[in-house]
Amino acid sequence: MRFREALAQPGLSAIAEIKRRSPSAGALRPDADPGVLAREFERAGAGAVSVLVDRRFEGSVEDVRAARATASLPLLAKGFFREPDELAELKRSGADAVLLLLRDLDDQRTTKLMTAARELGLDALVEAHDAGELQRALALGADPIGINARNLSTFEIDRNAQLELVAASPRDRVVIAESGIESRAQAAAAELAGADAVLVGSTLMRASDPSARLGELIDRPLVKICGLTRQEDVAVAAEAGADLAGFILADESPRRTDRVLPVPETMLSVAVFVGERAEAGSDLVQLYARENGHRGRDAVLLRGDEPVAQVLDLPWEQDDPRHHARAAIREGRIVLAGRLAPDNVREAIEVVRPWAVDASSQLELSPGVKDPDRIRAFVEAVRS
């Protein structure tokens, strides 16, 4: 399967990167064996593997050959390429795609290299760092396009700027969010902005078990703990490994809070409204219709004004024995809610296969006051 084709599959894909060092971080994994890592990343579910071939990263073309000898998934060769002959050597070594950096290439040379790659049967990942470079990539017909969160001059990471560029990219191109992905929530933020894949390097290379770390980043479903009203409960949810923190701003809820509390970088905040939404400073908004003076059954998850998932819930203060069967036949990203608890969430996941699970009342000591043990047990049950 070609590189672009592999990343265009439904859901979020991951490109696992092999690099021994980084100019910004120094030594990462000096003894990295590309053959071993490529094989392990393939088993862990990577959509593709990226191999640094530049000596500044202590890489070489031999690393591509070593990865190709042990893995069948697409290989991206990363370096600072300027000549078609370099691409031909990479193709002979087993690469399926090459990186082209708009930061270092003018449009004429980029076009020349894209043409050479196409004639060799290579995909060209054209990388942009800002709005101007993204417009250049689009005008050149680049597909796939990489959006790098790292400023290659200062090495600083700006995830918000990256997400806005991802969101501004056309949906008919394969878009890859590169750099700065350290948690499931950050990967999910890129996914919800419109990224087809994330490229993860330093986070994996620093891990004691890189392939297990990769599995954690792409693991689904995500876990949302909702009805949070206290900062200490947010901390427990984060420590337990939850990905989304929900804050209910609807007046009729016994779990109402007057604001979205701060969350760590490992989580995304979700403001929950009924009827009408307001500015809350959250990463996402969960909006229910108002019916007969209370929330409607289902909600929409919004990133800005863009619907990104369906929240499937139980009717207000009622049960529905067909709730999970109903959710299982819905298409798209599903956030499953409705009296989920440590003892029933695993069964619900197996039936519905949701993108995320959402728990609130069943994890409480009293409305709005969470039970730390039940939060931990719930997250553990989801991850088991």
- 268 and 238 fall within a common domain: yes
- 236 and 147 fall within a common domain: no
- Report the domain count for the chain: 2
- 110 and 177 fall within a common domain: yes
**CB of 340 closer than 8 Å to CB of 206:** no
Is residue 91 annotated as a catalytic residue, yes or no? no
- 239 and 104 fall within a common domain: no
* pLDDT for 69: 97
- 150 and 245 fall within a common domain: no
Domain final residue pick, 218, 241, 274:
218
- 203 and 226 fall within a common domain: no
Measured between alpha carbons, how far is 162 from 131 in angstroms, rounded to an integer? Answer: 10
* pLDDT for 364: 97
* pLDDT for 157: 84
Is residue 86 annotated as a catalytic residue, yes or no? no
Q: DSSP string covering 80-108, please?
A: ---SHHHHHHHHHHT-SEEEEETTT--HH
* pLDDT for 327: 97
- 300 and 161 fall within a common domain: no
3-state secondary structure of 358: strand
* pLDDT for 120: 97
Is residue 179 annotated as a catalytic residue, yes or no? yes
Give the active site residue among 22, 169, 179, 360: 179
* pLDDT for 3: 97
- 194 and 72 fall within a common domain: yes
Domain final residue pick, 218, 247, 275:
218
Give the active site residue among 40, 86, 127, 133: 127
Domain final residue pick, 150, 184, 218:
218
Give the active site residue among 42, 78, 93, 360: 78
- 204 and 281 fall within a common domain: no
- 213 and 226 fall within a common domain: no
Q: Which of 240, 207, 181, 186 is nearest to 382 (CA)?
A: 240
pLDDT tens digit sequence for 296-351: 999 999 999 999 999 999 998 899 999 999 999 999 999 999 999 999 999 999 99
Is residue 370 annotated as a catalytic residue, yes or no? no
Each residue's pLDDT tens digit in the chain (384 positions)?
A: 799 999 999 999 999 999 998 877 788 888 999 999 999 999 999 999 999 999 888 889 999 999 999 999 999 999 999 999 999 999 999 999 999 999 999 999 999 999 999 999 999 999 999 999 999 999 999 999 999 988 777 778 889 999 999 999 999 999 999 988 999 999 999 999 999 999 999 999 999 999 999 999 999 999 999 999 999 999 999 999 999 999 999 988 999 999 999 999 999 999 999 999 999 999 999 999 999 888 999 999 999 999 999 999 999 889 999 999 999 999 999 999 999 999 999 999 999 999 999 999 999 999 999 999 999 999 999 999
- 250 and 169 fall within a common domain: no
* pLDDT for 127: 97
CATH number of the domain within which 259 lies: 3.20.20.70
Count the neighbouring beta carbons within 10 Å of the beta carbon of residue 362.
16
How would you class 250 by CB atoms within 10 Å of its CB: exposed for 0-12, middle for 13-18, buried for 19 or more? middle
User: Parallel, antiparallel, or unpaired: how do β-strands 306-312 and 268-274 relate?
Assistant: unpaired
Is residue 366 annotated as a catalytic residue, yes or no? no
Residue 127 lies in domain = 3-218
- State the residue for tokens 């290299």: 113
* pLDDT for 154: 74
Give the active site residue among 13, 17, 22, 50: 17
User: Parallel, antiparallel, or unpaired: how do β-strands 97-101 and 284-291 relate?
Assistant: unpaired
In sequence order, the β-bridge partners of residue 268 are: 244
Residue 312 φ/ψ region, left for φ over 0, alpha for ψ in the -120 to 50 degree band, beta for the rest:
beta
* pLDDT for 268: 98
How would you class 96 by CB atoms within 10 Å of its CB: exposed for 0-12, middle for 13-18, buried for 19 or more? buried
Give the active site residue among 50, 148, 169, 269: 148
- 296 and 212 fall within a common domain: no
Give the active site residue among 178, 183, 224, 269: 178
